[in-house]
Structure 1
């Protein structure tokens, strides 16, 4: 695999070509592939560089998809009124880029997809998960709010009450249960999710690419208006939550 910025000894994103299928890996294994602001920038560059691929697989290095947003760096980036949620806004844009990729995109989940990492996986067309993987959204337990469109997507997919349970309690959802709910399209044996995702991407690459792109456009159109309306609200709420969390932490009322 190669880093998206070439000679960088510690690339945040790796990209590898598997006979025309671009495998893009989050590459912070020591941090369970937690996502920094720069991770999203490198992911965006990787998606651009994979524009000629026949399929794209998104995964995490060393058997773990992603622990979500990096709590040590926090979501703040830049200045201005929306600065406290700068990473959230950046992530929204990159996930929009991912959804607009013209070829099939497949998330390959080993270990777990947590928080913003779960949002990233659900932004792909298909989700392959190892049978021992799990998903969770522990935002509230960390004194923040769901981001990456996860509250909207879960509510649309599993209904208000199940989404409320997942988001308010932050409980784990097994791969088997996620598959039953339609949040995972394919199950794989542990350690084989990436291979399974590549196989699926290759099989789809044999179909008419024009038909695939147009079908993806139809699917995107069905959700675009609602998600586009939801994103500004999510960003505003994330900004308020981050400011409140920072204020309360400064007063010693809780720690994250």
Structure 2
């Protein structure tokens, strides 16, 4: 199964006032193309008036991260080699700025840029058998979506370095122990549990929820804002190196 022009890359379902935003490339394990981020941005705008938002992947898998076949390049400008990275940064900033509660529902796995997306939500619900991983180095690319910053802030340099340099899997229960997951669900029930959690938070005073989200966001805003331009520059250099290596392999 492949994508067709008729297949929406992102779906939005209304669950009694909770908007469930589904990444919809199940045959590709919901990997993210440039267009996926555009449709996700549109979906978030559409869902902004919901009581809460849950982000999940279709058919039992959150996301395998950036689409390796399409690559991170988009556009012809100086930053074109990392165009998708920049677009993803912007959409995740949009997600963090939403006034209502946002919850990631992780079944299967959240890999690479998919992990970054999950961590951009206010809360993360993960199935007991799910895992997280960041296999960027093994793919000859660098971490993006703010993942290096987030993991280092949360886990410290050495544990973050182990996850990022070795690309090892982090089981959901260990992620929960480390504070990267807020709730554990039984396999197959992460979306339902995330909806329940979202409703619990949404039942509080909306103004208090929004203002609390603003306080939390302000804590990370300065650090992440200063980190992202460097991430974008490094991603551009990594893509150029990858393209050069491919050229040497073809012609050398």
TM-score, normalised by the number of residues in structure 2: 0.97
| Aligned residue number for residue 131 of structure 2 | 134
Deviation at 1:9, TM superposition (A): 2.9
Q: Which runs of 5+ in 2 are unaligned?
A: none
Aligned residues: 246
1:99-121 Cα deviation digits (max 9, x unpaired): 00001000000000000000000
1:217-256 matches, cutoff 5 A: 217-252=214-249
| Aligned residue number for residue 59 of structure 1 | 56
Q: Secondary structure at the match of 2:249?
A: coil
For 1:91 and 1:155, locate their aligned partners in 2 and report how far apart those are by CA, in whole Å.
20
| Aligned residue number for residue 175 of structure 1 | 172
Mean CA deviation greater in 60-69 or 197-206: 197-206
| Aligned residue number for residue 211 of structure 1 | 208
Deviation at 1:252, TM superposition (A): 1.8
1:19-30 matches, cutoff 5 A: 19-30=16-27
| Aligned residue number for residue 190 of structure 2 | 193
For 1:203 and 1:180, locate their aligned partners in 2 and report how far apart those are by CA, in whole Å.
22
| Aligned residue number for residue 90 of structure 1 | 87
For 1:243 and 1:196, locate their aligned partners in 2 and report how far apart those are by CA, in whole Å.
42
For 1:180 and 1:203, locate their aligned partners in 2 and report how far apart those are by CA, in whole Å.
22
| Aligned residue number for residue 30 of structure 2 | 33
Deviation at 1:80, TM superposition (A): 1.3
The ranges of structure 1 where at least 4 consecutive aligned residues each deviate by more than 4 angstroms after the TM superposition are none
Q: Secondary structure at the match of 2:162?
A: helix
- The alignment status of 1:78 with 2:75, answered yes or no, reads yes
Deviation at 1:251, TM superposition (A): 1.2
Q: CA RMSD in A?
A: 0.9
- The alignment status of 1:165 with 2:165, answered yes or no, reads no
Q: Which runs of 5+ in 1 are unaligned?
A: 1-7
Q: Secondary structure at the match of 1:58?
A: strand
For 1:158 and 1:184, locate their aligned partners in 2 and report how far apart those are by CA, in whole Å.
13
1:38-63 Cα deviation digits (max 9, x unpaired): 00000000000011100000000000
1:110-139 Cα deviation digits (max 9, x unpaired): 000000000000000000000000000000
